[in-house]
């Protein structure tokens, strides 16, 4: 169920919430509090298109064609089946421990990654652990595997944790963004 103002609506079993952050023209908008950001599974970074892609955009626009492939419509049944298949992807115990250690190492006072401690004011929550496990499984499933590899965890660490870390004043002063902190985390926590 979702409530906006004084009105509530019942949501279907499958739904998605997407939001955008535009780094310019933010007057009158406010950043989401950390507790609300934590509820988003991923934070994806979308950069400018390459010159080749931009030329393709220009040419398609001039021809009046639509960009991208034809829309794909999936039934709720097929989405539920895909979700079940993703959750059935196996993750070895040693990879579960690695994943938990990565998330816990972001927390000040954990002692798991001493070099990062002065750079992170607030670390990732248990939602990050759950999100990283789920998205690593999804990445493996999309690659046609029924098992998770360390690379699945490492690549998904960025979109799962980049909005869940609050850098310290020292990190901000040193111009270290969250992707740099995550790269250091992956470099310092031993991979099994």
Residue of 23, 25, 20, 26 whose CA lies nearest to 40 = 20
pLDDT of residue 65: 66
What is the model's pLDDT at position 66? Answer: 65
User: d(Cα 52, Cα 61) in Å, to the nearest integer?
Assistant: 14
Report domain extents, the chain: 91-188
Res 120: pLDDT? 95
d(CA 137, CA 142): 9
**pLDDT of the residue at 12:** 81
Model pTM above 0.85: no
Residue 15: per-residue pLDDT: 77
What's the pLDDT score for residue 33?
75
Strand partners, 17: none
| pLDDT at residue 28, as a whole number | 66
In this prediction, residue 70 carries a pLDDT of 67
What Å distances lie between residue 101 and 57, 64, 75, 113, CA to CA? 43, 51, 37, 9
Low-confidence stretches of the chain (pLDDT < 50) are: none
The pLDDT tens digits for 15-59 are 777 777 766 666 666 777 777 777 777 787 778 888 998 888 888
Instruction: For the domain covering 91-188, report its CATH number.
Output: 1.10.8.80
At residue 179, the pLDDT reads 96
- What is the predicted pLDDT for the residue at 67? 60
> For the CA atoms of 56, 60, 62, 66, what is the dihedral angle to 10 degrees?
-150
């Amino acid at each position: 169920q979702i409530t906006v103002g004084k009105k509530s609506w019942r949501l279907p079993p499958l739904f998605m919430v997407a939001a955008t952050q535009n780094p310019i023209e933010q007057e009158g908008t406010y950043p989401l509090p950390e507790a609300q950001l934590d509820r988003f599974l991923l934070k994806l970074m979308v950069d400018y298109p390459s010159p080749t892609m931009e030329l393709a955009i220009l040419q398609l626009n001039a021809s009046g064609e639509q960009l991208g492939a034809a829309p794909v419509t999936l039934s709720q049944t097929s989405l539920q089946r895909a979700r079940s298949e993703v959750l059935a992807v196996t993750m070895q115990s040693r990879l579960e421990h690695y994943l938990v250690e990565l998330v816990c190492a972001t927390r000040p006072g954990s002692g798991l990654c001493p070099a990062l401690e002065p750079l992170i004011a607030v670390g990732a929550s248990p939602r990050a652990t759950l999100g990283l496990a789920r998205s690593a499984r999804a990445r493996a499933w999309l690659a046609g595997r029924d098992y998770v590899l360390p690379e699945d965890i490492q690549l998904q660490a960025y979109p799962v944790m980049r909005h869940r870390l609050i850098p310290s004043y020292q990190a901000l002063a040193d111009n270290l963004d969250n992707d740099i902190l995550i790269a250091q985390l992956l470099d310092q926590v031993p991979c099994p």
